[in-house]
Structure 1
Amino acid sequence: MPKARRRSAHSSERFEDMALPDELLGVLAEQGLARAFDIQSAILPDALAGRDVLARAETGSGKTLAFTLAMTSRFRGRKVHRKRPLGVVLVPTRELAVQVVDTIHPFARAVGIRAQLVSGGMNIEKQADAVARGVEIIVATPGRLIDLAERGALQLDLVETTVIDEADHMADLGFLPDVRDILAAIPMGTQKMLFSATLDGQVEEIVDAFLVDPVSHETTPVAAAVTSMDHHVLAIEPSAKREVTAQLAAREGRTLLFTRTQLGAERVAQELVEVGVPAAALHGNKQQGLRTNVLAGFRQGAFPVLVATDVAARGLHIDDIGMVIHVDPSDDVKEYVHRSGRTARAGAAGVVVTLALPHQVSRTRRVVGEAGVEAGWADVAAAEEPALDELGGRAPAGEPAEDPTLVKYKGAPRKLDLTRRGGADARRADERRANEERRASWEEASEPDPRGARPGRGGAGPRRGGPSGGGAGSGKTRSGKSAAARSGAGPRGDGKAPGGKRDAGGKGGKGGAGGRPAAGGRGSGGGRGAAGGRRGGSAPPGRGGRRGGSR
């Protein structure tokens, strides 16, 4: 990769001392923003000058506001052609697209331009109509943008600024081939700004191919983004996991819980509602309107607990999250950093708690060590341990709470069907409780056999695999099947739900909110038609024989 010019770190400065229009300064003042964060002070001079920017910044550093101010300043008062935007922002997930366009809207309105969300899981006809009328800035997931281009509803030959946000996450989800096709359809020499936590592998190839003499900016290394938080690891017994999770979730303040699977997120949220903690699940297999509604309610403070898969770990900014709980421990340091980065944002305080079952302790110790943080460790055999009190845990009410997924919040789609959801279920709750009682009776009845003999067929010894590793334990019944497995209410001991899958942040499964998973098999370049046959000499992006990207 060509060596990018590197600028020295900038000291934080006031927005009013920057070359920003008065309209934007007014919006910043209304939002209570007077002084720029480090990354904003570093990026804005180059971005306003139209330079290519290569930025590596910690999560929550304020880079979204940086490119928002740059684009709205440059496009202020400009006229736009039908179907031909001036700026494109590419993001990996729908939730991040919604957040970015919400950030842009007040600044765009102030300078008389428009921003349009182009994302899967929403009505493509309405998005095509909005683009056809003419918008200055498009915030898009790659797959949906290509869909509009292939339909002839969007042309990229007049784009002057392109932003690729969370480029490393794009690579993780397999979207960079689509990003390459989009960039190939945008005239070379126009401004490109790329933001990524890591700058290697496929991200480096994108930089080599499309950025021209970029200025490089870097704030704090990625791992350092979590050093300002208070980290704790609770080595817990499987039988105590559900109660420990409920006690921590019942604390005062806003709490974000992470699970490994979609089914696990739904189950944990249901369990919390059943014991009196209002909670809702967020994952890629939930209908888009319901996802938008859940996020709107959580942001507004209508309920205090959100249970999410890693779809929420990247880029989403939700104010005042006081604690992040890894209900299922992270598999690697990158995942740990981005999950944990949902708290202690922009200099605020925050607590990160990891719940590690016996077989997860060694891996958790390795991940925390690689993150470069000093975590407090405690053994928790039951929910009455003092370690939970020190973290603010408290006993939940015990009576079922109102299910947040049955409420429509401000900002949700107008036509929202709240009946299509998997909320708390009394039958599943009864089965879980009965299963827990059965497991407890087995554990009490089983005694070690000095000869090492296996319990007889009619005995009450613990079964192979033991209780479930995520939330409510699920021992096997006399027939050899777990009650949770029969009801679909709980995951297997390895944290993977029956029929469930790890969340891909927008790739979605059957019945999900968004498109097909990306697949390999084509290089970059234009799609249909010759490159010289369109204005500006660039063809619309195409998939060349395969479909992919985030819908």
Structure 2
Amino acid sequence: MPKARRRSTHSSSRFEDMALPSELLRVLAEQGFERAFEIQEAILPDALAGRDVLARAETGSGKTLAFALAMTARFRGRKVHRMRPLGVVLVPTRELAAQVVDTIHPFARAVGVRAQLVAGGMNIEKQAEALNKGVEIIVATPGRLLDLASREALFLDFVESTVIDEADHMADLGFLPQVEQILAATPMGTQKMLFSATLDGQVEEITDRFLVDPIEHETTPVTAAVATMDHHVLAINPKQKRQITAQLAAREGRTLIFTRTQLGAERVAQELVEVGVPAAALHGNKQQGLRTNVLAGFRAGAYPVLVATDVAARGLHIDDITMVIHADPSDDVKEYVHRSGRTARAGAAGVVVTLALPHQVKSTRSVLEGAAVQAQWEEVEHAGEEVLARLGGRRPAGEMAEDPAKTKYKGAPRKLRLKGAHGANESRALERRLNEERRAAWDEETSSREGGRGRSQGGRSAEGRTGSQRSAQGRPARVGSGAGKTEEGQGRGRQSRGAGQGRSAGQGRSQSSRGEDQGRARQGRPSVSGRGMSSARRRSR
């Protein structure tokens, strides 16, 4: 039976009108915050009073600042205990955990409170050592928190406030059983605050089991915020995808590009660097220190383009991203919404561009309809078209840029080693440019050759490739060199070996030569047109 939920009646838009310590108000003023965002205005009075809070809020709405202020205000002047924190914040990813800690730190220092990051992919011994000294607040991913608890380096019996952030994303990643285990280990009746974009399914079960008489808050839905952005879908020529991506990435301003796979993120980032656009990749398979370094550089504005998988789609707040590019379109409405939500944050303007290949057009339309988005559709055959210029696209420099992934930025781990880091290099850039030239020449030659063969096919079909002959070979007649070689091979086979044997041998040789030609076409170089003929001559001799 679901618990009754009350909606808060508090309303105060200025931080100074809330029950916040003067130290926190001073830090807010230094950071330029005077008025609370909608979710902060709703949550803070109840959070400061120690009530359970259930909030449905979009990412980027300011909820992190809300619970950071509440926890640091509540724990100001409290006695710290070894291995026993007073507050726990659970988040789904390491990047989000690091971001939350960065948000909390200035307020925690102002009131003499310590906050510690507890996440996988980092040195667990150092984390255990920090907990042993005593901290008031830990920001943790569920798996690492349970690892420390199993080592008896962490105990939850003194916890007074627990925050579950991005609960719906936790459910998508399969973390909710671990979250339940953690909540069951915290004292009953202590404050629980749960934040989620959706409040159904497993999230609903956690709410009913662990939150006591929660006060529910809801801000503007994510889909409404995404609908206010400027959305474009470019139905592109597959052969021009890399050039179109590079032209959009070379625009002025900060750009975030999403790919489907980790390898895709690395490949796109390297290709951009090779044509003169500084870009770095962020994905879950990257070492944690490198991920931290990449984010630090992008946040600081050291380079303009970040290429990421969906690891960056949730929770991460990076200022002034003016364009999001779906290089690989999302096939899920929720992911499209969260990817797109990295731009147009806090009322700023933003543009979202989806690059759809022919086979992705139908699914992209379905996703946009599900997100209630009205997008402008354009067909783009070549890089350099007017629509790209209207979106701010520019032709890249063409010369290799300095690889951002090989530079250490402020905020990166002190012992970060970048000497052996893989990335773009000059030799690969040169090879790629040469391959582009070969491919362009080969495409042009193939196009003209196919045009000539198309004009001559009528005569060949009239001379004797009947339907029954094609059926006997088990495949339809082909337009191009393969069909011609088959007939030629059959004729030479009959001359040298006899009618029956010559046909099978000729067919075998023609299939081999056709396979070689197709392989060479895939490699971007012309085939050796006389191979089948010269082979038949050698055998007849």
**Separation in 1 of the partners of 2:36 and 2:47?**
15
Preserved contact between residue 12 and residue 38 of structure 1 (Cα < 8 Å): no
State the TM-score, normalizing by the size of structure 1: 0.82
Q: 1:11 and 1:370, CA in 2 relative to 1: closer, same or farther beyond 3 A?
A: farther
Other-structure match for 1:220: 220
Cα offset, 1:432, TM superposition? 3.5
Q: What is residue 17 of structure 1 aligned with on the other side?
A: 17
- Cα distance between partner residues in 2 of 1:483 and 1:185: 59
2:354 alignment partner, SS class? strand
SS at match of 2:355: strand
After superposition, the C-alpha distances for 1:386-438 in whole angstroms (9 at most, x for unaligned) are: 11111111111111101111111000000011134321034443443444444
Corresponding letter in the other structure for 2:443: E
Deviations 1:462-485 (A, max 9, x none): xxxxxxxxxxxxxx985479669x
Q: Which has the higher contact order (CA 8 A, sep 6+)?
A: 1
Aligned to 2:245: 245
| Counterpart amino acid of residue 454 in structure 1 | R
Question: Residue type of the partner of 1:355?
Answer: L
Judging changes above 3 Å, is the alpha-carbon distance between structure 1 residues 12 and 274 closer, same or farther for their aligned structure 2 residues?
farther
The Cα offsets for residues 284-337 of structure 1, whole Å up to 9 and x where unpaired, read as 111111110000000000000000000001000000001000000011110000
Q: CA deviation at 1:267?
A: 0.5
CA distance in 2, matches of 1:279, 1:19: 44
Amino acid at match of 1:136: E
In the alignment, does 2:77 pair up with 1:53? no
CA apart distance, 1:39: 0.5
The 1:49–1:273 alpha-carbon spacing in structure 2 relative to 1, beyond 3 Å, is same
1:101 aligned partner, one-letter code: V
Q: How does 1:399-418 map to 2 (within 5 A)?
A: 399-418=399-418
Q: Amino acid of the residue matched to residue 300 of structure 1? A: A
SS at 1:234 equivalent: strand
Distance apart, 1:108 and its partner CA: 0.4
**Residues 320-359 of structure 1 mapped to structure 2, 5 A cutoff:** 320-359=320-359
Q: Does 1:79 align with 2:103?
A: no
CA contact (8 A) 2:47 2:53 kept: yes
Alpha-carbon distance between aligned partners in 1 of 2:175 and 2:522, rounded to the nearest angstrom: 38
Question: Partners of 1:65 and 1:477 in 2: how far apart?
Answer: 62
State the match for 2:124 in structure 1: 124
CA offset at residue 456 of structure 1?
5.6
Contact residue 11 and residue 38 of structure 1 kept, 8 A: no
In structure 1, the partner of 2:141 is 141
Report the CA distance between 1:238 and its aligned residue. Answer: 0.7
Q: Distance in 2 between matches of 1:51 and 1:122?
A: 33
How big is each residue's C-alpha offset from its partner over 1:476-499, in whole Å with a ceiling of 9 and x where there is no partner? 985479669xxxxxxxxxxxxxxx
- In structure 2, C-alpha distance between the alignment counterparts of 1:259 and 1:12, rounded to whole Å: 41
Partners of 1:420 and 1:197 lie apart in 2 by 40
Q: Residues 375-394 of structure 1: matches in 2 within 5 Å? A: 375-394=375-394
Following the alignment from structure 2 to structure 1, what is the Cα–Cα distance between the partners of residues 288 and 12?
38
> Does the alignment pair 1:454 with 2:478?
yes
Amino acid of the structure 1 residue aligned with 2:478: R
5+ residue gaps, structure 1: 461-475, 485-551
Check the 8 A contact 2:167/2:195 in 1, yes or no.
yes
Structure 1 residue matching 2:192: 3-state secondary structure: strand
Deviations 1:104-133 (A, max 9, x none): 000001111100000111111110000011
Q: What is the match of residue 512 of structure 2?
A: none
- TM-score when scaled to structure 2? 0.83
| CA deviation after TM superposition for structure 1 residue 2, in Å | 1.5
5 Å-filtered alignment, 1:482-493, equals none
Between the aligned partners of 1:261 and 1:245, the Cα distance in structure 2 is 16
Determine the C-alpha separation between the residues in 2 that align with 1:406 and 1:483. 31
Work out the number of aligned pairs and report it. 469
Give the helix-richer structure, 1 or 2: 2
Separation in 2, partners of 1:403, 1:189? 52
3-state SS, counterpart of residue 79 of structure 1: coil
- Give aligned-pair identity as a percent: 79
- 1:101 alignment counterpart: 101
Partner residue of 2:63? 63
2:96 alignment partner AA: L
Report what 1:256 is aligned to: 256
User: Is the contact made by 2:333 and 2:367 (CA closer than 8 Å) also made in structure 1?
Assistant: yes
Contact 1:28 1:34 in 2 (8 A): yes
CA RMSD of aligned residues (A): 2.1
Say if 2:328 is the partner of 1:304: no
**Higher Cα Rg: structure 1 or 2?**
2
For each residue in 1:61-110, what CA deviation from the matched residue of structure 2 results, as whole angstroms up to 9, or x when unmatched?
00000100111111111011110000000000000000000000000011
SS at match of 2:303: coil
Contact 1:247 1:388 (C-alpha < 8 Å) held by counterparts: yes
SS at structure 1 position matched to 2:194: strand
1:146 to 1:441, Cα distance in 2 relative to 1, 3 A:
same
**1:29 corresponds to:** 29
